[in-house]
Amino acid sequence: MSNEKTIKSALISVFSKDGLEPIVKKLNEQGVTIYSTGGTEKFINDLGIDVVPVEDVTSYPSILGGRVKTLHPKVFGGILNRQNHDGDVAELAEYDIPQIDVVIVDLYPFEKTVTSGASQQDIIEKIDIGGISLIRAAAKNFADVICVSSVDDYAEFLELISENNGTLSEADRKRFAAKAFNVSSHYDTAIFNYFNKNHEEAVLKISETNGKVLRYGENPHQRGFFFGNFDELFTKLHGKELSYNNLLDVDAAVNLMNEFKNDAPTFAILKHNNACGLAQRDTLHQAYVDALAGDPVSAFGGILISNTEIDLATAEEIHKLFCEVVIAPSFSDEALDVLKGKKNRILLILNAIELPETTVRTCLNGVLVQDKDNVTDTVEDLKNATNTTPTDSELEDLIFASKICKHTKSNTIVLAKNKQLCASGTGQTSRVDALNQAIHKAQSFNFDLNGAAMASDAFFPFPDCVEIAKNAGITAVIQPGGSIKDQLSIDYCNDNNVAMVMTGTRHFKH
């Protein structure tokens, strides 16, 4: 027996009618009997095409406000019967059940309803029951039925039935079944995650249907993919395709700049997920110039991000630097003209959407999940640990340095002065090494550290760091505290007129 099947009947029940008209017209042209319900039935009737109401098949009306329309043995028997099974064929005849060869369903928009901020009752009503059941049944019986489960697949289905006069191969039916189970599993995942948003159940369900193949992974010999809705977060204006490493750096840049999104003009330059330059000034142009001064060497090939619109003056300075990506809430027309002068330079507008509240990473033969570090240290959080208290300008620099420190790889030390990143020591196994690295780097770019502020992502187990900092000219320190030997560092600061404040919050970032 041939595994090809010719469509003779179709059940169509969709939420969105976009793209449906040409399919209905083509099926009608091919002599297909069409069954439908509710709004879809009216839509088909309005096209002047005959349609059989499902109620005529089941002898039951749509009930419970539309909650029950297609849930009936005559509908599911028509979908699930095995056409090469004598018993099934006999039962269809005995119970007057029509054969259904294609099911076209578009589910209620559950995820869109959730993100719209709708009430719980509205969200619950967008949990599709009949539609999801039709999809599962039709996909299970792909040997005889083709399931079209998404508006995204309408064009491909129309092309198939047009080219083959309504006859479809088993390979096509199985491929559409895979699409259908992708739709159903993603839908159920979204519903579960809505009900489990407070993590009452220690269960991880992730479903991303927007997958993109990247040129390669972290290195050319590794495959790479991105799963997510990049276009929801960014509007890409110019440049080449983003790479795996670009995406990691862009993620780091966006999370870092979130700390400054409501502040005065702020500009950051990142390399390998860490800030190598960051400054806050009265004008964005000056913020960029001073951010670049933090490390003009590492800035080469970096990721640039601003918390405000990039203007012409800033763009002209940026254009002098080779950089991979420039991100901002907006660009002036004149700035765009300049920045587009490099064909591969990626220009992104950052849209205003909420970022995920959890972080996920692979670990051993499983995954680690945690709440995002959403604590930003503020002046109100600080506890003066020393007799010397920070001046107002030192407090500003301490908070500024702490925000950067939170987004820098541990172990880390960040040095800042006058709301400018002087240097940081990143990813060191020793906090002393991180501090020495930061001091050496700052001095190599001629920063005067006298009066600078120092931030540490974790406590000081010994007073060695504050001693090294004091000898470099640093006068104010911010750290979480919590070591059983905190007093040793406090005593050193008291003896040497260094102000130290504690936040009570550690910011490890591994």
Distance CA 374, CA 354 (A): 12
Nearest to 150 by CA among 135, 165, 163: 135
Tell me if residue 25 is catalytic. Answer: no
Provide the token pair at 159: 């092309």
- Burial of 287: CB neighbours in 10 Å, binned 0-12, 13-18, 19+: buried
Catalytic residue among 8, 140, 205, 342: 140
Q: What angle do CA 189, 195, 198 make, to 5 degrees?
A: 110
Instruction: Give 121's contacts (C-beta < 8 A, 6+ positions apart).
Output: none
Is cis: bond before 411, omega within 30 of 0? yes
Distance CA 52, CA 33 (A): 8
- In 196-304, alpha helices (H): 230-233, 244-257, 284-293
3-class DSSP assignment, residue 266: strand
Catalytic residue among 272, 319, 340, 342: 272
Give the other-Cβ count within 10 Å of 378's Cβ. 10
Instruction: Give 129's contacts (C-beta < 8 A, 6+ positions apart).
Output: 67, 68, 71
Q: Is the dihedral of CA 62, 67, 70, 76 positive or negative?
A: negative
Tell me if residue 238 is catalytic. Answer: no
**Distance between alpha carbon 149 and the CA centroid of its chain, in Å?**
24
- Burial of 342: CB neighbours in 10 Å, binned 0-12, 13-18, 19+: middle
Distance CA 295, CA 263 (A): 23
Answer whether 243's CB lies under 8 Å from 218's CB. no
DSSP 234-257: EEEEESSPPPHHHHHHHHHHHHHH
Provide the token pair at 222: 């590794």
> Mind telling me the catalytic residues?
140, 272
